[in-house]
Amino acid sequence: MNTAKVLAAGMAAAFAIFSGGAAAQSFPSKPVRIVAPYVPGGTVDALARALSAQLAEEFGQQVVVENRAGASGNIGAEYVAGSDRDGHVLLLTASTVIVNPLVMKEQQRFDLQKDFTPLGMVASTPLVFVVSPQSGINTVADFIREAKAHPDKVNFGVGGFGSGGHLAMETFNVRAGTSIPMVIYKGSAPALTDIVGGQLSAIMDPVLTTLPFVSTGRLKAIAVTGERRSALLPSVPTLHEAGVPDMDFVSWYGLWGPAGLPEATSQRIQAALTKVLRAPQFKAWLDKQGLVAGTTTGKQFGAYVQSEAKKYAQAVSDAKIEKK
């Protein structure tokens, strides 16, 4: 290599280092927007608002939440995918973002792996398997026996087609050897009310929505999904403990930037997110919501999302769920 080429290579490397450092130092140079692709009032919105307040302190810059709802979260995601690649527009959304293309006929106009930079897991929550206290069902084994003995009298409520709970219940049918029909609702609130009223047999839904019913005795929790018991329901066994294996379904929430985010900016956001998630005050807020703070960021989080996508694809295939 001649002297000119050596100098050119050196200058290119120096420029890359300088530009990366400059990106980190200049970010954020204006207010940061976190896009929550759902209407105000839900878990994603509440999580985005709580996180934005803490990130604002870390960044020394205003962080605002922008609700861009529609198409099961796809409208907001599409907006972020097409935004400037400087870290000032981020996406906070739920695990349904990887389920949507598996169960929806309408084609998703973005690729989560190609069009986004994974920044980190914000939080997760197990699903709680609840039944009516008046049903006489006290365990998962009781529920399976009832479903097999009286298949015309047992059903599952689904808070949303293609939700984590939906796929968990379909997978339960495969693992338990049952054929429990699904009753699709527009949200889990009416489904939970119908279980209390005796019109519905059971549902698997996040801690946040089920705990108020369980703690007041209106519903009975007989199991939780995931690898370990919930700290908020320590006496309730996991489905694996109850005899139904491979039910590691949890609802999780992640943070992404558009693809091509400068590495220094990505690292800056990841560091701030990690600091917030480790703060006792924020952890205490998450605990009250039935959420567990995330611990993975960057490429590790991206790998987790890929593994989850494979798991959900297998669940859809095993249950033979047709797109709608």
pLDDT tens column, 99-153: 999 998 888 889 999 999 999 999 999 999 999 999 999 999 999 999 999 999 9
Q: Identical fold at 3-124+251-310 and 126-224?
A: yes
Is 227 in contact with 219 (CB distance < 8 Å)? no
The structural architecture, per CATH, of the domain 126-224 is 3-Layer(aba) Sandwich (3.40)
| CATH for 3-124+251-310 (3.30.1360.70, 3.10.20.30, 3.40.50.620, 3.40.190.150) | 3.40.190.150
Mean pLDDT of 24-36: 90
Distances (CA, A) of 280 to 56, 106, 276, 313: 17, 42, 9, 36
What is the Cα–Cα distance from 103 to 73, expressed in whole angstroms?
A: 14
Identify which of 302, 278, 263 has the alpha carbon closest to the alpha carbon of residue 54.
Answer: 278
pLDDT for residue 24: 54
pLDDT for residue 25: 62
| DSSP one-letter code for 134 | G
pLDDT for residue 278: 97
What are the φ/ψ torsions at residue 124 (nearest 5 degrees)?
A: -145, 165
- Reduced to 3 states, what is the DSSP secondary structure of residue 289? coil
Q: Does the pLDDT at position 82 exceed 50?
A: yes
pLDDT for residue 208: 87
Our measurement of the distance from residue 123's CA atom to the centroid of its chain's CA atoms, rounded to an integer in Å, reads 7
pLDDT band (50, 70, 90) for residue 292? very high
3-state secondary structure 199-234: CCCEEEEEHHHHHHHHHCCCCEEEEECCCCCCCCCC
Q: Does the pLDDT at position 6 exceed 50?
A: no
Give the model confidence (pLDDT) of 219-275 as tens digits: 999 999 999 999 899 999 999 999 999 999 999 999 999 999 999 999 999 999 999
pLDDT for residue 110: 93
Amino acid identity of residue 172, one-letter, is F
The full set of domain ranges for the chain reads 3-124+251-310, 126-224
Our measurement of the distance from residue 150's CA atom to the centroid of its chain's CA atoms, rounded to an integer in Å, reads 34
Q: Does the pLDDT at position 215 exceed 80?
A: yes
The H-or-E segment that residue 101 falls in is helix 96-103
Quote the percentage of the chain above a pLDDT of 90.
80
- Reduced to 3 states, what is the DSSP secondary structure of residue 128? strand
First to last CA, the chain: 60
